[in-house]
């Protein structure tokens, strides 16, 4: 049978240790150098596990020949873009282009409430912002991507005609005028292996073991039509939940946990006055493959602490609810 570069060889050892990761890194560093020579490589660096590991690997292989573009769509969690700048721009001294496109995204999303329309707008605009940056650069012939093995398996499934519940793969192809050869050094790895490689490359533990975060970001957690005020409340509430999960030692144990803020208000009371606000909905789930999920039973002590902090510290929120619906019937995200 012909060699298929997109198929993981049956005898490929699972990367579980630093030694195996170091060997993989050395092989890929050589492979990337052989592939790109002295040419420039472009990478969309979201700050997620896969693109971060690819960035660190390519910085090791080709240094400043790699140009990382970080597009802040205004829907990142608190502190995320700052971490990308800190780790890649400063500590690893990468060639990093930071684009704050918050206004472009939020202006386009104003008044749009349908979840799939929101996803499409975010995905399309992301490509446009990235393409605008790519056109400004000269002599780039390669595009690096954080494709991992489950992405390849998923595309095979979709090519076979299986239907997705939500359009997750929102970042489609680049416009016709931008043609690059792909560099995909981790495309045969599973997620747990990518993490081991990331740690071997010296990336911070919190970045490598970061919980999954959807491409459209907080955009699908600020339910319905996004407003800047409600988005700001969501971002603060979500940061409090994450901080308390860290404090109570839950962060590494729960697969995904986050806050959702719907576009409804209820009557509450604050400082002896009527206080109308949004509810913050907490979600914490465990899953193996995201196709089904069980809910994490968050201890009451944690729920009380998070509720007290969110209602005291976040402008516009007056209640906290806890979603105990497994998937099915609830999907993990609300939109
Ligand atoms: P659902 O909500 O379908 O989510 O149960 C399953 C997993 O996929 C993530 N998710 C997305 N990821 N773009 C992404 O990159 C999206 O549009 C998207 N929607 C959901 C979700 O966070 C969960 O991990």
pLDDT category of residue 159 using cuts at 50, 70 and 90: confident
Q: What is the pLDDT of residue 154?
A: 84
- Asked which of 112-126, 156-170, 179-193, 272-286 is least confident by mean pLDDT, the reply is 156-170
- Give burial (CB, 10 Å; 0-12/13-18/19+) of 261: buried
- What is the distance in A from the centroid of ligand 1 to the CA of 43? 22
pLDDT category of residue 156 using cuts at 50, 70 and 90: confident
23 Ramachandran zone, left/alpha/beta (phi>0; psi -120 to 50) = alpha
pLDDT category of residue 155 using cuts at 50, 70 and 90: confident
- What is the distance in A from the centroid of ligand 1 to the CA of 326? 15
pLDDT category of residue 2 using cuts at 50, 70 and 90: confident
> What does the alpha-carbon distance between residue 232 and residue 33 come to, in Å, rounded to a whole number?
43
* Token pair of 281 as six digits: 């909905």
Best of 77, 163, 214, 216 for a ligand 1 pocket test (most atoms within 8 Å of beta carbon): 214
- What is the distance in A from the centroid of ligand 1 to the CA of 313? 28
* pLDDT tens by residue, 245-262: 999 999 999 999 999 999
- Using the predicted structure, report yes or no on whether residue 164 has a pLDDT greater than 70: no
- What is the distance in A from the centroid of ligand 1 to the CA of 216? 9
Paired sense of beta strands 256-260 and 273-286, if any: antiparallel
Q: What is the pLDDT of residue 172?
A: 56
* Token pair of 41 as six digits: 């490589």
Q: What is the pLDDT of residue 167?
A: 63
C-beta of residue 302 within 8 angstroms of C-beta of residue 274: no
- What is the distance in A from the centroid of ligand 1 to the CA of 138? 35
Ligand 1 atom with the shortest distance to the CA of 167: 17
* pLDDT tens by residue, 56-112: 999 999 999 999 999 999 999 999 999 999 999 999 999 999 999 999 999 999 999
Q: What is the pLDDT of residue 168?
A: 56
Ligand 1 atom with the shortest distance to the CA of 333: 2
- What is the distance in A from the centroid of ligand 1 to the CA of 331? 9
* pLDDT tens by residue, 36-61: 999 999 999 999 999 999 999 999 99
Q: What is the mean pLDDT of residues 282-297?
A: 96
Best of 77, 259, 290 for a ligand 1 pocket test (most atoms within 8 Å of beta carbon): 290
> Which residue has the least CA distance to atom 3 on ligand 1?
331
- What is the distance in A from the centroid of ligand 1 to the CA of 18? 30
- What is the distance in A from the centroid of ligand 1 to the CA of 185? 24
In the chain, what percentage of residues exceed pLDDT 70? 97
Q: What is the mean pLDDT of residues 200-205?
A: 96
Q: What is the pLDDT of residue 170?
A: 39
Write the CB contacts of 151 (distance below 8 Å, at least 6 apart in sequence): 169, 187
DSSP calls for 9-69: -TTPPP--SHHHHHHHHHHHHHHHHHHHTT-EEEEE--SSHHHHHHHHHHHHHHGGGEEEE
Q: What is the mean pLDDT of residues 304-328?
A: 98
Which residues have C-beta atoms less than 6 Å from ligand 1? 119, 165-166, 168, 170, 212, 214-216, 220, 256, 290, 327, 331-333
Q: What is the pLDDT of residue 137?
A: 95
> Which residue has the least CA distance to atom 6 on ligand 1?
290
pLDDT category of residue 304 using cuts at 50, 70 and 90: very high
* pLDDT tens by residue, 217-245: 999 999 999 999 999 999 999 999 999 99
- Using the predicted structure, report yes or no on whether residue 171 has a pLDDT greater than 50: no
Q: What is the pLDDT of residue 243?
A: 98
């Amino acid at each position: 049978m012909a060699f298929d570069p997109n198929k993981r060889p049956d005898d490929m050892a699972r990367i579980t240790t630093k030694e195996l990761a170091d060997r993989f890194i050395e092989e890929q560093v050589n492979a990337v150098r052989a592939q790109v020579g002295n040419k420039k490589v472009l990478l969309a660096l979201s700050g997620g596990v896969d693109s971060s590991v690819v960035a660190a690997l390519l910085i090791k292989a080709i240094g400043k020949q790699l140009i990382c573009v970080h597009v802040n769509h205004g829907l990142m969690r608190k502190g995320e873009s700052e971490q990308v700048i800190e780790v890649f721009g400063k500590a690893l001294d990468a060639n990093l282009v930071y684009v704050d496109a918050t206004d472009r995204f939020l202006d386009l999303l104003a008044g749009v409430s349908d979840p799939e329309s929101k996803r499409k707008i975010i995905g399309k605009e992301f490509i446009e912002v990235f393409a605008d940056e790519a056109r400004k650069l000269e002599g780039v012939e390669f595009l690096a991507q954080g494709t991992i093995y489950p992405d390849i398996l998923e595309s095979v499934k979709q090519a076979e005609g299986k239907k997705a519940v939500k359009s997750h793969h929102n970042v489609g192809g680049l416009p016709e005028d931008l043609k690059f050869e792909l560099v995909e050094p981790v495309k045969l790895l599973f997620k747990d292996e990518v993490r081991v490689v990331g740690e071997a490359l010296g990336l911070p533990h919190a970045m490598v073991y970061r919980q999954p975060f959807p491409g459209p970001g907080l955009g699908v957690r600020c339910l319905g039509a996004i407003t800047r005020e409600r988005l700001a409340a969501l971002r603060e509430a979500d940061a409090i939940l994450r901080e308390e999960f860290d404090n109570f030692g839950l962060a590494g144990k729960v697969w995904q946990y986050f806050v959702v803020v719907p576009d409804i208000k209820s009557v509450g009371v604050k400082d002896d006055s009527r206080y109308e606000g949004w509810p913050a909905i907490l979600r914490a789930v465990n899953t193996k493959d995201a196709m089904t999920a069980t809910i994490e039973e968050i201890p009451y002590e944690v729920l009380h602490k998070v509720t007290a902090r969110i209602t005291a510290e976040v402008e516009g929120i007056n209640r906290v609810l806890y979603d105990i619906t497994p998937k099915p019937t609830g999907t993990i995200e609300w939109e």
